[in-house]
Structure 1
Amino acid sequence: MEFTELADYALAPGMLTEWLPEATAQWADDPRPASYIHEAHLRRTADGTHDDGRESWLGAAFRLSGPLDHDAFRVAVREWIDRHEPLRSHAELGADGLIRRRTVPPGGIDLDEVRHEFEFDEDTVQERVLDLFDELTSPHRWPAYLFVTLEHTDPEDGCTVFFAADHSLIDGFSVVLVAHELTALYCEAAAGPPALLVPTGSYIDFGAEERSAAVGVDHRHSAVDVWRGALMRSKGRLSEFPLDLGPKPVRRVAQRAVSEWVFDAAQAAAFNALCHRSGQNFFAGILAGVAEANLALTGNTLLRTVTPVHTRHDQRWATSLGWFVGLAPIEFDIAGAPDFAAATARAAEAISATKPAAKIPFARVEEILGVPIRPRFVVSFMDVRFVPMAQEWPEIQARALRSRHYSHDVYLWVNRTPHGVNVSVRFPGTDTATENVVRFLAHVREALTAALGSGTTTGQ
């Protein structure tokens, strides 16, 4: 599944309906705390002046076949909201600096259905959906999520479902589950087969357990050591993208994005075999390719970046909706590496060495070190080949969506799907950044392709 912005999703003209959650039951005080990352997000966005603007949502788009059954869709969304407790809960940052939570019980949420009885063209669909998502997904309001359906009028029937939620409710892996769960519940509600979704735990319980586990962490913990060392070596700020991005614009300028497929399924399998022959994993091979691109363009053999790491370590959280993400700094040197296998081995050693960092919430590490952890160059990897319905993603035009960003950083996502490997990158909206990030991505692709073609490469 590709991670793109709404502007890059193929739209059709049609009739829009907005589905806005509303509480029909009494809110109850809930003593469970926000997770560390949720609290940090609330505090960072409290005054609306953080670098990345007000928008911080993730979302999904996918198609349902045939005319939309509005009643069945309503039932499906209500069942889905009952399934995932964070959608029925709200953690609010008060004027006194304290965070308080309130929660609605299952069955306590309905949907306000707003139908537009006229046809939208493609441009107006994009404008309307984007405005709704930007406006109605703030972490400081409830609900911080919504659905929009587009019933096609041309060239074929069918319906596209759009969903967005603030990042505090959802992460990248949660996003790729949305199409399957909603489709299964919709088919069941329309008198189809049972959804048969596996039971799932609540991210709110995860946050409470995370807090309890982190109480005893202090400056002696290995995770703190990893971050302390990374920050010292990068002089107190995490390392930037290796090439020039140009000066940060004085006014807010939306970031640009590129998405491309670097391997098909067969090539991905061959690359995986290449990595495993040298005793390493797929992600280590990807990082080796990034390091070789860095060497080719800068002459620097040292690669420093940050990678997200999932925290779904218990089966209860396997299909939960939430922000199950830790961070780990990655640093390795490929100087003298004779071939791709050696470079991959060094990347694997770096991954292993920094694993402890992701086990402790980085917001807790910030508290201990008294230093903000602000990634500026991130390389993310997800293997989503075995997510339910993954084989059908191209057929139903399933995409993961992200909001516009305005920060002066570079994020690179590598996703292995049943159909190959997609690389998506967002970067500052300057001409200098565009030229250099596109050039860097081309060298990463060349390094990976060369490794695949020959089995070994030094990149030197």
Structure 2
Amino acid sequence: MSDREYPLTPGQQRMWFLQRVDPSDVSENLVTLRRLTGPLDPEAFRRAVAAVVARHEPLRTSFGESDGVPVQRVADRVEVPVLLHDLRAEPDPEAAALRLAEASGGRPYALEDGPLLRIELYRTGEWAHVLLLAAHHLVSDGWSIRLLLDELLAAHRAVADGGEPRLPALPEGFGDHVMWQRARAEGPAADRAAAYWAAELAAPPGRGLPPGSAPAAPAPDGRAHWVRAEMDAAAAAEVEDFARRRSCTPFMAWLALYQLLVGRHTGQSDLVVGAPTAGRERRADEQLVGCFTAVLPLRADLGGGAGFAALLERTRATVTGALSHPQVPYERLLGALGTARGEGQRQLFRHWFNLHTESAAGQPAEAGPLRVDDLPGLPAPTPFDTSLDAWPAAGGGLHLLLAYDPAVLDAAAAQALLDRLPVLARNALARPELPLGELSLLAPDERGRCCAARTACRTTRRRCSTCCCGRPP
């Protein structure tokens, strides 16, 4: 039975429609893994899950239609099972846990049935577990996962200590946010925002050349394709310090570097990169689980002989302008401007960037004797040519994960592309006034190999992809 029914946000409508078109699509599956070390009571954890699910409407929500219009239906009660797997007999218990978690987190959801949340515990030692928190993006986002983890651990601690979960009352539910968002999408402020975005995204750039040499397009396999790299703490600190000295955020600096990297490899001086924003503009939203994330299409101007310092200034203006005009949902822009793109694109951009600041909050305050450590995320297949995610690492560095479309890049080219980001960051900061097209993407020991590769490129008149310098022959 359902005790509440309300419309979808524009972002939810887009995801719901795409899932209806392809029910096997798992690109909106969110998967989070944590290593839990210390005393964990499975029964207390199940009671904690029940308390949190009862607290947040989206965790009891399914999606259907009413008179041909999609709606979300909130059930009075929903049981989210907590599956416990004992893997202590496995040769490598944690590796076995990661394999099982990848399989579980990668299964499609039945939107009309629910729940759209999966929680599993994998016991890997006497005092060690791996926790899987998986959800469809329709009912969650990165902020929500962090909030959910904090509340689960606080409730578990209370129950394990012989008490009852005591979580503060919520000021309102997700349905109230939906109605507020729909109301503010109309009126003079929304019209001004629509005019801003129409100008910002006018005469949109094309897709551009693929980064490097595109392989023969493989048959879609539904799997995520990705590579990893690390940014050391000293290099990451230099980027953030450079940004602060210019009144910019770390997000602006990393976005500018990624846009420059993509531009150098695609041969474009004008491109759009998509990025998420929390979308929680009211204080009440900060306490709610749900799909709040909004999409910002951020345009980069890499031309005019500017250096990285000038690019960062442009990026600050672009990001500030985008955040100042939130009244028009991205999905409305997509409907108004997307047809200009042609090519059957379902986005206004082909590249995505996300700096996961929500993972930098440290140990949950109410975890008690449990130690909680991050485990590498399990990415979903990306709908973009490239999708870069960056997470703060212990000690101050960054974990970098580049998901890619195998029809555009093969694994070796994707790894080479990602490996150039730390090199580009170092060179851009060392010579911030040097024209962007002259910044080297090569480490000193690679330049000799690059010269040989460029000689071959001049002979064949192909883009220099062997060395990944991104320069035309």
Same fold (TM over 0.5): yes
SS in 2 for 1:176: helix
Gap change, CA 1:224 and 1:323, over 3 Å in 2: farther
Taking structure 1 as the reference length, the TM-score comes to 0.78
Is 2:312 the partner of 1:344? yes
Q: Where in structure 1 are there 5+ consecutive unaligned residues?
A: 1-26
Is 2:239 the partner of 1:262? no
Counterpart-to-counterpart distance in 2, 1:445 and 1:391 = 33
SS in 1 for 2:131: strand
Counterpart-to-counterpart distance in 1, 2:427 and 2:165 = 44
Q: Which residue of 2 aligns with 1:33?
A: 7
Corresponding pairs, count? 424
- Counterpart mapping for 1:314-393 below 5 A: 314-336=282-304, 339-356=307-324, 358-369=326-337, 371=339, 372-373=346-347, 375-384=349-358, 387=361, 389=363
Q: Is the 8 A contact 2:61 2:139 kept in 1?
A: no
Mean Cα displacement is larger for which, 389-398 or 165-174? 389-398
Mean Cα displacement is larger for which, 198-207 or 271-280? 198-207
Q: Is the 8 A contact 2:61 2:116 kept in 1?
A: no
Structure 2 letter corresponding to 1:396:
V
Deviations 1:262-311 (A, max 9, x none): 142x5434432211222322222213322443455455443432222221
Structure 1 letter corresponding to 2:194:
A
Q: Is the 8 A contact 1:240 1:409 kept in 2?
A: no
Mean Cα displacement is larger for which, 68-77 or 385-394? 385-394
Q: Which residue of 2 aligns with 1:396?
A: 372
Q: Which residue of 1 aligns with 2:104?
A: 132
| 2:204 aligned to which of 233, 257, 267 | 233
Q: Which residue of 2 aligns with 1:152?
A: 124
Higher RCO (C-alpha under 8 Å, 6+ residues apart) = 1
Counterpart-to-counterpart distance in 2, 1:118 and 1:277 = 50
Q: Which residue of 1 aligns with 2:19?
A: 45
Q: Which residue of 1 aligns with 2:414?
A: 437
Counterpart-to-counterpart distance in 2, 1:322 and 1:188 = 24
Q: Which residue of 1 aligns with 2:246?
A: 278
Counterpart-to-counterpart distance in 1, 2:97 and 2:393 = 28
Counterpart-to-counterpart distance in 1, 2:14 and 2:53 = 24
Structure 1 letter corresponding to 2:128:
G
Question: Comparing both structures, which one devotes a greater share of its residues to strand?
Answer: 1
Structure 2 letter corresponding to 1:232:
A
Deviation at 1:55, TM superposition (A): 5.4
Deviation at 1:29, TM superposition (A): 4.3
Gap change, CA 1:359 and 1:84, over 3 Å in 2: same
Q: Which residue of 1 aligns with 2:218?
A: 249
| 2:183 aligned to which of 188, 212, 226 | 212
Q: Which residue of 2 aligns with 1:304?
A: 272
Deviations 1:358-411 (A, max 9, x none): 442222334445745354211223323663527999963324744531645211
Q: Which residue of 2 aligns with 1:93?
A: 65
Deviations 1:94-131 (A, max 9, x none): 6x5222333234xx344546566786735654454444
Return the index of the structure with the highest Cα Rg.
2
SS in 2 for 1:450: helix
How much identity, in percent, do the aligned residues show?
19
Counterpart-to-counterpart distance in 2, 1:384 and 1:118 = 30
Counterpart-to-counterpart distance in 1, 2:174 and 2:190 = 27
Gap change, CA 1:439 and 1:139, over 3 Å in 2: same
Q: Which residue of 1 aligns with 2:448?
A: none
Structure 2 letter corresponding to 1:445:
P
Q: Which residue of 2 aligns with 1:166?
A: 136
Counterpart-to-counterpart distance in 2, 1:134 and 1:233 = 34
Counterpart-to-counterpart distance in 2, 1:383 and 1:111 = 28
Q: Which residue of 2 aligns with 1:182?
A: 152
Q: Which residue of 2 aligns with 1:203?
A: 174
Gap change, CA 1:152 and 1:257, over 3 Å in 2: same
Taking structure 2 as the reference length, the TM-score comes to 0.76
- Counterpart mapping for 1:408-423 below 5 A: 409-416=385-392, 419-423=396-400
Counterpart-to-counterpart distance in 2, 1:241 and 1:318 = 39
